[in-house]
Amino acid sequence: MEKPYVVGIDIGGQTSKIGVVDARGNVLVQTAIRSDNHTEAIPFIDDLSKAVVDLVNQVSSMDHIRGIGIGAPNANYYNGKIYKAVNLKWAKDDEIPFAAYLSERLGVPVVLTNDANAAAMGEMTYGAARGMRNFIMITLGTGVGSGIVINGEVVYGYDGFAGELGHVTVVRENGRLCGCGRKGCLEAYASATGVARTAKEILESTNRDSLLRELPVDKIASKDVYEAAVKGDEVAKEIFEYTGKILGQACADFVAFSAPEAIVMFGGLTRAGDFIMKPTIDNLNESVFPHWRNKVKVIKSDLKESDAAILGASALAW
């Protein structure tokens, strides 16, 4: 029997997105369920299973589903388990054999990986990295995620958790505390949260005029910084310059170990456009080993943001 569809699932701390995808990368139907309504894994998996069947029935039937791909925090591609994911109430203290449980309920193969690796797969299958065999995917959201592709394969390493570039140390002295518990991580500077922290530091340590002073300093978000930059605010533009400098210098180091054709940027922070992209590219080329200067493309994802997480996960199932 022909099986022309796959299902992509993106599991987040609050919601889980589900979509049915065809071979051309069209998300035919999609839905979402709450991830945070349960404190135990089995009831959540039961709810997810029902939602998948109900969604697939809008298009066809489970008999026409080739497989299911899932992107989730702390997910291990090798064994299909989610390991103590602090953002998931039902997995924060346990190791859940998630792929096996879901496959047993739905009767189709299930492949699981972490969300940033899923994003890399989606970009290689459907997006800006289509046809590329060597690239790095960096997701700039609340945190910094990454997926490394070498010779057409995602790098998982010995234990399945390779490629956590958001947790390389970029500031060694008096670095910011990261959510992982270490200090000076890239994520503490180059994420949307990092942009907000930079804004707070500058506003509290100087008396410079800025539109950002119209907001409570603890409520400033990266979107506010972008809107101020668009209006010509020099402090806001400096915040993006600083963020891009740290990100670009980190990317120069990443280039040295994998010699990628491109670095693909995805996530809410990329909406800042040239405010973040230009300093990133400039500092990459200023810092990188001369052999790679001006040779590595830095590009934004081609994937529609509302579909990207589903497409990335679905790419695992083909």
Contact of 317 with 68, CB cutoff 8 Å: yes
pLDDT at 137: 96
At residue 49, does pLDDT exceed 80? yes
At residue 179, does pLDDT exceed 90? no
* Amino acid (1-letter code) at residue 101: Y
Q: How confident is the model at residue 223 (pLDDT cuts 50, 70, 90)?
A: very high
Residue 51, token pair as written in the block: 């939602």
Cβ neighbors of 278 (< 8 A, separation 6 or more) are 244
pLDDT at 111: 97
pTM (2 d.p.): 0.90
Beta strand pairing status for 297-300 and 262-266? parallel
- Tell me what the pLDDT averaged over the chain comes to: 95
pLDDT at 69: 98
Q: How confident is the model at residue 304 (pLDDT cuts 50, 70, 90)?
A: confident
At residue 41, does pLDDT exceed 80? yes
Residue 164, CA distances (Å) to 74, 139, 195 in order: 11, 11, 20
pLDDT at 101: 98
Angle at 164 between CA 242 and CA 90, to 5 degrees: 115
pLDDT at 197: 98
At residue 1, does pLDDT exceed 80? no
Question: pLDDT tens digit string along 274-284?
Answer: 999 999 999 99
Question: Strand order in 15-22's β-sheet?
Answer: 27-34, 15-22, 5-11, 65-72, 110-114
Give me the mean pLDDT over the 187-207 stretch.
97
Residue 2, token pair as written in the block: 């022909």
Give me the mean pLDDT over the 111-130 stretch.
93
Q: How confident is the model at residue 226 (pLDDT cuts 50, 70, 90)?
A: very high
Contact of 138 with 165, CB cutoff 8 Å: yes
Domains and CATH numbers, the chain: 5-123+306-317 (3.30.420.40), 131-301 (3.30.420.40)
At residue 306, does pLDDT exceed 90? no
Give me the mean pLDDT over the 22-42 stretch.
95
Distance CA 157, CA 76 (A): 11
